[in-house]
Structure 1
Amino acid sequence: MGPPATPTDDAPASRDPPSPPLASPPRTRSSTHSYPPRSAPVERPVPPLEPPDRGKAAYLFLLGAFSIETVVWGLPSSYGLFLEYYQREGVNGHAASSSLLPLVGTVSSGAIYLLGPPISFLLNPRPRWRLNIIRAGALICSLSLLLSSFATAPWQLLLTQGLLYSIGGAMAYYSTFYYLQEWYVERRGFANGVCFAGTAAGGLVLPFILQALLEKYGAATTLQALSVSTFVLLGAALPLVRPRLPLPPKSADMRHEKKEEDPPREDRAVVDEPSRPQQPEKVTAKRLFKNIKLWVFLAANIGQAFGYFVTLLYLPTYASAVGLSGAEGSALLASVNGACVLSRVAMGVLSDKHSPHRLGFGTMLASSVAVLILWGVASTSLPPLLVFSIVLGLAAGGWTSLYSSIINSVVRDDPALASHLFSTLSFTRGLGALLVAPISTALIAHPLHGASAHTAYGAAGGKYGGVVLFAGLAMGVAAGCEAVEALLH
């Protein structure tokens, strides 16, 4: 502590026996060592994140997700037209077994639902794979349609237009949904509603296009045209679909990354948020098996799938059986899907503010009444069938938009866990979609006798009576489950 002039001379001497020249190296050393610390943070906290819920980037992502949903789900929702064509014309001129053909449509949609859990388990620990999985899925969808155009037997259609298409669709679909949880937080119900409306939008436009192509060019050329358009449309949507949160810095197994990245967690909390797979997956399993309310909703989910998918599957063939043209059958399917577009957006917005179970109860009750009375009793000509189609789309079409609110009631702000729960909901819906084919085939084989031919129960010799009853009662069961849920909440 002496006079101010001497400390600089005394300090080095008192600290280190070596002579003063050492005074300069420390400075150069400290100056050279100052660079790495400054360049090491080039691992920076991350550039500013795009804001969720609003803004150009969020809306562009939603456009891309909507486009993928429209393309991936549009074809399975319109398979009823292919079914009617195959039953009438055969598969590339070869006679077709009617028992396998309905299964093609239910597999193309149902297997997408069923593949949710395996894709979730595969990708939650490996977030860096997601974009490549979306790209590969888009390619597989296009390839499956091309291959199906060369099919000459129903089993070949089952493998290509059914199973292979669903694998590609699931790969593109579930990864996109994962990113949706990052881009939308407060308005998640709205975003899901818009995204799910893509399914209906595809079903609104495609029936008219498919009907015209099938009648003019046949199934093979139609499928080839679909293959090319699927490749182009999905390719255009892919650049818009990207994560909002930064990906982990390495592509190594996330188990190892988790251990290595735990220390600097304070300033990287945002970075690590989407990649915390291990704990959420265990919690999900516990909640799935212990949360009674969730199980009741899963039962309602299967009931809704039974009623909704069997109606979509057989509406065009029923229309043909009561004397309507192929174009009129397409108009019925388009009416259902057009109403679904409005219903899904509206239900998404409402589910952000109101109980999803009360909404589910009201819509399922209305759907059950519509099927049993509007279709069952009143619909053997075009005008009442059009009314029924619109009511069904408005009432039953918005069901999947409730998923976001259901998930938020179990878990919040964890994309990996939300993805796992969404895949579980999709899996149970897929069970309903897949089981519809064998159940409806058995019902068609046993006509309903004694009903008036002026009702759907007795039209075409009672062939569709069992299907109408099954669809209406299944939705009634879903309404009952949702009534229980509303009371439990």
Structure 2
Amino acid sequence: MSDSEKLSGNENNGNDSSIENPAQSTSQSAEDFKEGGSGWVVIFAVFLLNFHTWGLNSTFAVFLAYYLKTNAFDTTPLGYAFVGGLSISIALLASPLTTFLAGWKRFGTRWTIFLGAVFETIGFIGSSFASQLWHILLSQGVSFGLGMGLCFVASAAVPPQWFTKRRSFANAIAASGSGFGGLCYSLASNAMIARIGLPWTFRVIAIICFVVNGAASFFIRDRNKAIGSVHVPFNWQLFKRPSFLMLEAWMVLSILGYTILVFSIVAYCQEVGLSSSQASLVGAMFNLAQGIGRPVIGLSSDYVGRLNVANFSTLLCGLLCLFFWTFGARSLASCIVFALLSGSVAGAMWATIAPIAAEVVGLAIIPSALAMTWLVLVIPATFAEVIGLSLRQPGSWGYLHAQIFTGFMYIGAFIFGWGLRAWKVWELEQIRLDKEERELAIRDDGVVGTADLERHVSRTPTVRQRVLKLRGLWSVQRV
């Protein structure tokens, strides 16, 4: 099958994808390696990268609370909100460049990640000398965001290549690095700002990031050649697939809710009367829950079903935001409980996106699918926290509108995710029916007339097939 055929968005024999299905891709590539072994080294390296990229990025909640409290760069709250949103959007916007560099034979995955470590270091060094808002936008926003994007996008597609049976669990362990990184950096950053000041806090972080991420980059080993990965930065044909569109809608609404929740929780705690150290502790507990919750999500996904767990986690986080965060999180104890509960499920999309993408588009085309996904998330990631702060009002109940908005974003994400689950149930049923039809055709070869056989395997949708498309909305099944 040619590359153009692999990337085609046309339907093939009634399937949603013209590419070989994930089960076939997995079975073919499984013969080329033994699950585990080198794969766990790769997982640990990606864990460290997430620790010192997304973990650091979630610590922006601490920096944002400091900026809002001291007005460090003499600007409006919305100006500070753009710093955090810009770092995420630049990281995602860099996905086409990162996909190209990672697939380029003269550069590859390792050097792409190392380049990201360099940009990340430059960003924090630049931030230490910032005196105006545009300085911090360029350094902590653009440069750090570009470095984070190069590290993250280049490494995100690697863990699924090394696992089949434990794919979700392995990917979740790697993703949990962001939670543990956020835990450590939240506590450390708040303490360093108080003791050595903001500039030297940035410099210490810069040194740590360069050493750890630079070393981790050389332990990353991909299997792009073995599985025939397709690195196409702009694969617009994917948007012709309803299943991929539902996946993107799930991610867009999830990132809107997630960004507001992560960046607002520390400032919210200070708004209801907690001290900066207490608010930082709540933020650290949120990140601790992410670090523990993501492997649990991954492990349960391998046994209960990836789409089942992802959708349940999304729905639970929405309900927690609507009811617990809105009405119950008013003291230190209740804020910690909310942080632990919501943190364990808030980032479910990061722990499951790669395995779910493999279910939707197939293993070989994951790099292209993820590159398009990160590109789609640029705009919502840029304006999520801006929306959150614009909804804020004076007073101890000032975050009420932002809390309700966050909750409904997760509920909306659940609706699209459940639709994607229904599609997957239908696809699996179609594969089973196709197999039965082929077996019947072989068994009755020479007995059944050609015309009768053609009618038997006709692709004209029947009432049963239409019902099967909706069956996934209520069926209990491991998906």
**CA contact under 8 A between 1:131 and 1:242: conserved in structure 2?**
yes
Coordinate RMSD, CA, aligned: 2.3
2:304 aligned with 1:323: no
2:188 aligned with 1:237: no
Give the direction of change, closer, same or farther, for the CA distance of 1:321–1:239 in structure 2 (3 Å limit): same
> Partners in 2 of 1:167 and 1:277 — Cα distance?
19
Q: Which residue of 1 aligns with 2:108?
A: 129
Return the letter of the residue paired with 1:198. G
2:409 aligned with 1:474: yes
Give the direction of change, closer, same or farther, for the CA distance of 1:127–1:479 in structure 2 (3 Å limit): farther
**CA contact under 8 A between 1:115 and 1:170: conserved in structure 2?**
yes
> Partners in 2 of 1:316 and 1:475 — Cα distance?
20
Q: Which residue of 2 aligns with 1:13?
A: none
Gaps in structure 1 of 5+ consecutive residues: 1-48, 247-269, 448-458
Within 5 Å, which residues of 2 pair with 1:214-225?
A: 214-225=193-204
2:132 aligned with 1:153: yes
> Partners in 2 of 1:372 and 1:327 — Cα distance?
26
Within 5 Å, which residues of 2 pair with 1:382-397?
A: 382-397=332-347
> Partners in 1 of 2:63 and 2:220 — Cα distance?
31
> Partners in 1 of 2:418 and 2:160 — Cα distance?
28
2:95 aligned with 1:116: yes
Work out which of the residue numbers 270, 273, 285 in structure 1 matches 2:236.
285
Q: Which residue of 1 aligns with 2:169?
A: 190
Q: Deviations over 1:307-364 (max 9, x none)?
A: 1110111111111111101111111111111111222112222333443332232112
Give the direction of change, closer, same or farther, for the CA distance of 1:428–1:350 in structure 2 (3 Å limit): farther
Q: Which residue of 2 aligns with 1:210?
A: 189
Give the direction of change, closer, same or farther, for the CA distance of 1:411–1:115 in structure 2 (3 Å limit): same
**Of the two, which has the highest radius of gyration?**
1
Q: Which residue of 2 aligns with 1:485?
A: 420
> Partners in 1 of 2:288 and 2:75 — Cα distance?
31
**CA contact under 8 A between 2:160 and 2:171: conserved in structure 1?**
no
Q: Which residue of 2 aligns with 1:29?
A: none
Within 5 Å, which residues of 2 pair with 1:247-262?
A: none
Give the direction of change, closer, same or farther, for the CA distance of 1:361–1:218 in structure 2 (3 Å limit): same
Q: Which residue of 1 aligns with 2:447?
A: none
> Partners in 2 of 1:180 and 1:362 — Cα distance?
23
Work out which of the residue numbers 32, 37, 54 in structure 1 matches 2:36.
54
Q: Deviations over 1:282-301 (max 9, x none)?
A: 8x532x22221221221121
> Partners in 1 of 2:224 and 2:329 — Cα distance?
51
Q: Which residue of 1 aligns with 2:325?
A: 375
Q: Which residue of 1 aligns with 2:311?
A: 361
| Higher alpha-carbon deviation: 325-334 or 429-438 | 429-438
Alpha-carbon offset, residue 98 of structure 1: 2.0
Q: TM-score, normalised by structure 1?
A: 0.75
> Partners in 1 of 2:378 and 2:231 — Cα distance?
24
2:41 aligned with 1:90: no
2:149 aligned with 1:201: no
Q: Which residue of 1 aligns with 2:14?
A: none
Alpha-carbon offset, residue 483 of structure 1: 2.6
Report sequence identity in percent: 23
Q: Which residue of 1 aligns with 2:255?
A: 305
**CA contact under 8 A between 2:41 and 2:219: conserved in structure 1?**
yes
**CA contact under 8 A between 1:302 and 1:431: conserved in structure 2?**
no
Alpha-carbon offset, residue 133 of structure 1: 1.8
**CA contact under 8 A between 2:315 and 2:414: conserved in structure 1?**
yes
Q: Which residue of 2 aligns with 1:22?
A: none
> Partners in 1 of 2:272 and 2:174 — Cα distance?
35
Q: Which residue of 1 aligns with 2:467?
A: none
Report SS of the residue matched to 2:284.
helix
**CA contact under 8 A between 2:290 and 2:343: conserved in structure 1?**
yes
**CA contact under 8 A between 1:344 and 1:399: conserved in structure 2?**
no
Give the direction of change, closer, same or farther, for the CA distance of 1:102–1:412 in structure 2 (3 Å limit): same
**CA contact under 8 A between 2:101 and 2:112: conserved in structure 1?**
no
Give the direction of change, closer, same or farther, for the CA distance of 1:277–1:175 in structure 2 (3 Å limit): closer
Q: Which residue of 2 aligns with 1:349?
A: 299
Alpha-carbon offset, residue 485 of structure 1: 2.5
Q: Which residue of 2 aligns with 1:100?
A: 79
> Partners in 2 of 1:485 and 1:363 — Cα distance?
15
Give the direction of change, closer, same or farther, for the CA distance of 1:224–1:362 in structure 2 (3 Å limit): same
Q: Which residue of 1 aligns with 2:443?
A: none
**CA contact under 8 A between 2:389 and 2:402: conserved in structure 1?**
no
2:372 aligned with 1:424: yes
**CA contact under 8 A between 1:127 and 1:275: conserved in structure 2?**
no
Runs of 4 or more above 6 Å deviation: none
**CA contact under 8 A between 1:97 and 1:154: conserved in structure 2?**
no
Q: Which residue of 2 aligns with 1:438?
A: 386
Return the letter of the residue paired with 1:112. A
Alpha-carbon offset, residue 384 of structure 1: 1.1
> Partners in 1 of 2:391 and 2:105 — Cα distance?
44
| Higher alpha-carbon deviation: 68-77 or 235-244 | 235-244
Equivalenced residue count is 394
Alpha-carbon offset, residue 413 of structure 1: 3.9
2:158 aligned with 1:176: no
Return the letter of the residue paired with 1:59. W
Q: Which residue of 1 aligns with 2:53?
A: 72
Alpha-carbon offset, residue 114 of structure 1: 2.8
Alpha-carbon offset, residue 411 of structure 1: 3.4
Give the direction of change, closer, same or farther, for the CA distance of 1:358–1:461 in structure 2 (3 Å limit): same
Q: Deviations over 1:10-40 (max 9, x none)?
A: xxxxxxxxxxxxxxxxxxxxxxxxxxxxxxx
**CA contact under 8 A between 1:324 and 1:382: conserved in structure 2?**
yes
Alpha-carbon offset, residue 176 of structure 1: 2.0
Q: Which residue of 2 aligns with 1:20?
A: none
